[in-house]
Structure 1
Amino acid sequence: MKTSILKFNILLLFFLIFSCNDFVEVDFPTNQLPSLYVFENETTANGAILNLYSELRDNSIYNGKLSSSSILFGLYADELDYYGNPTSGLNDIYLHHIDTNNTEVKTIWTNSYKLIYMANASIQGLENSHFSSKNTLMAEALFFRAFMHFSLYTIYNEIPYIKSTDYLVNSKCYKNSQSEIYANLIEDLENALVLLQDANINTNTRINKFTIYALLAKIHLYNKEWNKAINYSDLIIHSNRFQLVNDINTEFLKNSTSTIFQLKTAKEGSPTNEAPIFTITGQNPNNIALTKNFLNSFENGDLRKIYWVKSSSNGNWFFSSKYKQINTLASSSEYSIVFRLPEIFLIRAEAYVNTNKKNEAISDINSIRNKAGLNGISNTNENLFEAILNERQHELFCEHGNRWFDLKRFGLLSQTLLPLKPSFQDFHQYFPIPESEIILNQNLLPQNQGY
C-alpha cells in the first residue's frame, strides 16, 4: 500500500509540474522522467492516462469554457457576438485584431503542447511496462498526441509534430510540413487501432476504435482523401452501435444514442463546462450571445432552433442551449461531446459529393434534415455543397469551431465575414505563432503570413 501511495504521489507531482510550466520550459534531466516509475504499476499508469482526459476536458481547446474552440472560433466566425471585457484577448479575436502576443493565441499553443508532452511521457513510460492493459493505455496516449497535433495544425498551419520528451530536442524543434503532419497523424492513429483492438468498446467516455475512426474520417476529409473519409465513416455508421436520435431534445444527454466520444464531468452531478458558459440566466449576456445572422439562417420549423436555441428572460438575447444542466444535481445529465454521429453522416455526405455519388450524398443529408423535422432535399438542381454547408452550420453550431473550419475549407471566409467584420483579412485563416515561443525557439520561423 505504501508503495502504491508513493507512486501515486510521484504521478501527481509529475503532472503538477506539467500544469505549472510552459511546454518549452519543462526542464527535466534529459530522458530521466518520474513517469518511468508511474508506469511500472497498472493502477498508477491508468491514472496517468485518465489525467489526459481531465486535461482535455479542463485545459485544452475542448474545455467548453471561454477559452475553448467552441467559443473562440464561434466569435472568430459568424456564430457568436461578444459582450465581455473590451480589453480582453477574446474581444480582439471577435474583432479580428489579434497579434502575436494575444493571450488566447498563446494559451492554445501552450496548453496543447503540454497535453502532447504528457501523452509522450505516457508513451515512453509504457514502452517497458508488462501489465495486461499496456496496449490499451498506449493506444489512448497515441490518440491524444494525434488529436492535439491535428487541432494545432488546423489553427496554426505548419507546426512541430513532437514525439519526444527530451527537453533539449523539443526546445529546438522545427515546424513540420503539411504532408509530414498528416503522415504522423495517420501513423499514430493506425498504430493506436492495432494496439486498441476492441478495448473500451462498451463505453463512449474512453477512447475506443470508433473514436479513432471518427478522427480519421475528419482528418481524411480535411486532406481531401474522400474514399478514406467514406471508409472510416462507414465503419461507424454500419456498426449499428450508434443511431440518430428520434427526439432531438435528447441529443446531448449523456446516454444519447448518437454520441461516439464524450468527456465526463469533473464530478458526477456537476454540469458540463459548456452549459453555464453558453446559458444566459438573466436579461443580458455576460460574455456571448448568438448572432442575429445565425438565428435568421434557420429554416422555418427546424427543430434544432426550437430545442437548441433559447432566449434570455427578456427575450432580447439568444444562446446555444444544447447543454441544459447548469446546476449541480445528484447525477450529471450531460457530458461534453467530442464526436457524435450526425457529424459522421455529414463527413460522408461531403466525401460522396466529391466522388460523384450524388444520390448517396442526398440520402445522408436528408437523414440529418429529417432528424431536425425538415423535408429532404430533392435530387434535381440542388447545390449539394451548399446543402452540406447549411446542414453543418445548423447541426454543429457552437461545437469545437466547426463553422470556422468549414468556411475556411470551402474558401468562403472573405465572402461570409467581410460584410460582418470589416477588419477581416485573408491571412486570418491561421493564427500567428505566439511571439514568446519564437523568442525561445527561432526554428519556429518563419512566422505565419501577415503577422
Structure 2
Amino acid sequence: MKKIVMCLLLACAATACKEDILEQYPKGSLSSGDLSNKTAAEALVVASYALLDGVYNGPIETIFNPASNWSYSDVRSDDAYKGGGGTGDLGELNSLELGIIAPDNSLIERKWRALYFAVARCNKALKSLNSVPDAGFPEKATRIAEVRVLRAHYYFELKRHFYTFPYLDESVVEGQEGKVANTLTSEQLWQKITDDLTAAALVLPPTQTDLGRVNKFVAYAYLAKVNLYQRKWAETITAADQVINSGQYRLQANLEALYSDPNVEHGGENIFAVETTVTDGSTTSGLLNWGDLLTSPPGPAYGGGDHFHRPSQNLVNAFKVDANGLPLLDTFNNSDLSPSATTVPVDPRLDHAIGRPGITWKDFRGEVYGNNWIREGATYGPYSKKKNIIYVNSPLRAAQGFPWALGALNFPLIKYSDLLLWKAEALIESGGNLEDARALINQIRTRAANTPPVLTLNGAAPAATYRIGTYPTAGWTQAYARKALRMERRLELCMEGHRFYDLVRYGDAAATLTTYAQQETPKRPFLSAFRFTANKNEYLPIPQNEIDRSGGVLTQNQFYR
C-alpha cells in the first residue's frame, strides 16, 4: 500500500547526519565516489522524503519538533493550549505559547536544524542524480523534479517560520555551506522556492506508481500555497485550477474516516502527506508520526497519553451556529458553549475534531470521553484533540499501549479542502467572482452536512444537536465573504497546524491574539502572562547557537535584532 515508506529506514541509514549542518552535508556510509550510480541516487531521493516527518536525530527529537506544526502554530494561536502536565511541563513550549520568544529556545533550534538536515539531503540527492548518466535511468528527470518539490517544501517551512535564511542548493561546494549568508531578500527567497516548484510541475507525471511520491499536481498545489502567502491571487487561482481540473482529487465523504482510518488516506482528499506505516500492528513500530505522540488523551481508549495540544474554549465556541446553521461570525465568543452541552446547535465538525465530555470517541465503545480522560483540567480545560488520531480498533495501530495513538495514519500537509479554500480566498481578495468563492465554501460545508454524524455510544442517535447550512447569495459582499472564508478555514482545518500562519497572512495576528488572551484569561489564568509584539512575534528568531556557530556569517532576522 505504501511502497515508498518501506524504503525509508534503509535510506536514512545511508545518510546519517553530522552535527554542524551549515558547515557540511550529512555524512554516512556512502562516500562521494559511491553516488554516481542509479542505486545510490534512488536511495538519496527516498532519504529526502524521509525527513518530511522531521526525524533528523531519532524519534525523541521529533516529539518536540512535529511535522504537523501543532507546537509552532496551533499553540501560538487562539485554537489551542499547550496542554500536558501543567505550565512547567515542556517549559520551552509554554514560552512560545505566551509569546516569550527568544533565540535560545531549544524548540526553535530543533525546527531550524530539522529543516536544514532535510535541505542537505535534497541537495545531496540532486548532486547524485546530476552525476548519473541518463542512459539506463529513464526516471532521472522525474526524480530530480520530486526532490525539487521536497526542497521547496523545506524552504517554505523555513520562510514562514524564520523569514530569512541562507539559501543552499546543489551548486554550493561541499564543505562551503557554512559560508553562505542569509542576505537574499524576501522576494528572492520566495522566487527560489517558486522556481523549484515551477520547474518540477513541468516535468512530473500526473500520477506515480509508488504511493507517497509527489506528482505534477502536488507541485501545482504547492505553487498555489506559495502564491497565496505572497498575495498573488491570480497565480494562486491558476495553480489551484490545475489541481481541481485534474479530476484526481475530491472531498472524502466521511470526516471521521478521513481523520481516523488509514484505509481512506489515498482516497483523493490528501494531496500531499507525511506517509507512515506499521509492520503488522504489533508492538514493533514502523515509521510513525512521532511528532504527534504527545497529543493523545490519557483515557482508556489508547492505554495512556500525554494530552498536549488541547483545544481552546475560544475554538469550541466558534462551532456554535445560528438558526440557519451558519457560524456566529462576530458573536461566537460572547458566551461559552458548556463542555457537555448537547442541545445547543453546533456545526457537526466540532465532535469530529474535538473530544468533549459525554461524547463518543471515534470507534471506542467502552465509554464516552469523560473526566478520567482529562489531564490538568483545571489548567487547560476539558477538551482533547480528536482529529488525525487513529481509530482505537484499527489493525494499523502500532501497538495497543505505547506509543499510544500512533499508527499508519498519514498526516496531511496539503488537503483538497485546503486548496479549495485557497482558491476561494484568492477570488474574494482579488475582487473576483464572489459567487464562485461562495460555491467553493459551500462545497465544503455540504460535505460536512452530509458526513455521518458522531452518534451516541449505543449508535441510536446523533450525540448532540448538529446543524449546518450553506451561505445564501443574499448579502454575500466581499467584506462578508472574507469573514466567512476565514471562519471556514478555522472550522475546517482546526488543530492541523494552520491557524497561526493564517492569522499572520491576514495581518490580524496581533489584534486577534491580544483580544483572545484578554477574553480567555478569566477561564485560563496562565494566559495572563501572554504578550504579542506586533512586527516581531509573527516570526521566530534564528537560533542563537546557529548564529554563533557561523562565526558571523549568519545575522539575526530583522524582527529580533
Cα offset for 1:74? 0.9
Deviation at 1:379, TM superposition (A): 2.8
1:173 paired with 2:173, answer no
What secondary structure sits across from 1:372 in the alignment? helix
Partner of 2:308: 287
2:445 is the alignment partner of 1:445: no
Corresponding residue to 2:469 among 375, 381, 391 = 375
Report the Cα offset of residue 246 of structure 1. Answer: 2.1
Compute the RMSD of aligned alpha carbons: 2.9
Q: Deviations over 1:45-93 (max 9, x none)?
A: 2222222222211427xx9844221232111111211234446211111
Q: CA deviation at 1:197?
A: 3.0
TM-score (norm 2): 0.72
Partner Cα separation in structure 2 for residue 28 and residue 360 of structure 1 = 48
Distance 1:275 1:155, change over 3 A: closer
* CA–CA separation in structure 2 for the residues paired with 1:349 and 1:255: 24
What are the equivalent positions in structure 2 for 1:178-193 lying under 5 Å apart?
Answer: 178-193=186-201
Identical amino acids, percent of aligned pairs: 22
Deviations 1:227-278 (A, max 9, x none): 1111111111121111112222222332433111223214344664466432
Residue deviations 1:271-292 (CA, integer Å, cap 9, x gap): 6446643221339954331111
Match of 1:38 among 10, 18, 35: 35
The worse-fitting range, judged by mean Cα deviation, of 387-396 and 272-281 is 272-281
The equivalent residue for 2:294 is 277
Q: Is the 8 A contact 2:54 2:114 kept in 1?
A: no
**Distance between the aligned counterparts of 2:391 and 2:179, measured in 1?**
44
Distance in 2 (CA, whole Å) between partners of 1:163 and 1:150 is: 14
**Cα drift, residue 22 of structure 1:** 3.1
Report the counterpart of residue 409 of structure 1 in structure 2: 505
How has the CA–CA distance of structure 1 residues 227 and 52 changed in structure 2, closer, same or farther, with 3 Å as cutoff?
Answer: same
Find the counterpart in structure 2 of residue 224 from structure 1: 231
Within-5 A mapping of 1:30-429: 34-35=31-32, 37-42=34-39, 44-59=40-55, 65-68=63-66, 69-84=69-84, 85-86=88-89, 88-129=91-132, 130=134, 131-164=137-170, 165-175=172-182, 176-198=184-206, 200=208, 204-252=211-259, 253=261, 254-268=265-279, 269=281, 272-273=289-290, 276-282=293-299, 286-299=307-320, 300-311=345-356, 312-314=369-371, 317-325=382-390, 330-331=395-396, 334-356=409-431, 357-373=433-449, 374-382=468-476, 383-399=480-496, 401-419=497-515, 420=517, 422-426=530-534, 427-429=536-538
Does the 8 Å CA contact 1:65/1:71 hold for their aligned counterparts? no
- TM-fit CA distance, 1:195: 3.0
Q: Report the CA distance between 1:101 and its aligned residue.
A: 0.4
Is contact 1:275-1:326 (8 Å) kept?
Answer: no
Separation in structure 2 between the aligned mates of residue 288 and residue 28 of structure 1, nearest angstrom: 32
1:46–1:329 Cα change, 3 Å: farther
Q: Aligned partners of 1:408, 1:190: CA distance in 2, in Å?
A: 25
Seen in structure 2, the aligned counterparts of structure 1 residues 262 and 450 have a Cα distance that, compared at 3 Å, is: closer
Aligned amino acid, residue 152 of structure 1 = L
SS of equivalent to 1:444: coil
Counterpart of 1:162 in 2: which secondary structure?
coil
- TM-score, normalising length: structure 1: 0.88
Q: Contact 2:122 / 2:150 at 8 angstroms: preserved in 1?
A: yes
* 8 A contact 2:62–2:290 mirrored in 1: yes
1:101–1:436 contact (8 Å) kept in structure 2: yes
8 A contact 2:163–2:557 mirrored in 1: no
Q: Distance in 2 between matches of 1:13 and 1:389?
A: 43
Letter of the aligned partner of 1:433 in structure 2?
Answer: I
> Following the alignment from structure 1 to structure 2, what is the Cα–Cα distance between the partners of residues 194 and 21?
36
C-alpha displacement of 1:124: 0.7
| Residues 27 and 163 of structure 1: CA distance in aligned 2, closer, same or farther (over 3 Å) | closer
Q: Which structure's CA Rg is the greater one?
A: 2
Q: Does the CA contact (< 8 Å) of 2:161 and 2:539 recur in 1?
A: yes
Over 3 Å counting, the alpha-carbon distance change for 1:412 and 1:125 in structure 2 is same
Q: Which residue of 1 aligns with 2:542?
A: 433
Taking structure 1 as reference, are residues 438 and 361 closer, same or farther at Cα in structure 2, changes over 3 Å only? same
Partner of residue 20, structure 2: 22
Q: Which sections of structure 2, spanning at least 5 residues, go unmatched?
A: 1-7, 321-344, 357-368, 375-381, 397-406, 450-467, 518-526
CA distance in 2, matches of 1:275, 1:151: 18
* C-alpha separation in 1, matches of 2:444 and 2:351: 16
CA drift of 1:446 comes to 4.4
Distance 1:288 1:336, change over 3 A: closer
Q: Distance in 2 between matches of 1:81 and 1:242?
A: 33
Q: Name the structure with the higher helix share.
A: 1
Alpha carbons 2:81, 2:312 under 8 Å: kept = yes
- Kept in 2: contact 1:136–1:196 (CA 8 A): yes
Whether the aligned pair in 2 keeps the contact of 1:173 and 1:443 (CA below 8 Å) is yes
Give the match for residue 3 of structure 1: none
Deviations 1:297-324 (A, max 9, x none): 1133322112221145317622222223
Give the CA deviation at 1:167: 4.5
Using the TM superposition, give the Cα deviation of residue 159 of structure 1 relative to its aligned residue in structure 2, in angstroms.
1.7
CA gap 1:35/1:138 in 2 versus in 1, 3 angstroms: farther
Q: Distance in 2 between matches of 1:387 and 1:27?
A: 46
Unaligned runs of 5+ in 1: 1-7
| Counterparts of 1:36 and 1:213, CA distance in 2 | 35
Deviation at 1:365, TM superposition (A): 1.0
| Residue type of the alignment partner of 2:70 | S
CA-to-partner distance for each residue in 1:302-351, whole Å, 9 max, x for gaps? Answer: 22112221145317622222223277954366222221100010000001
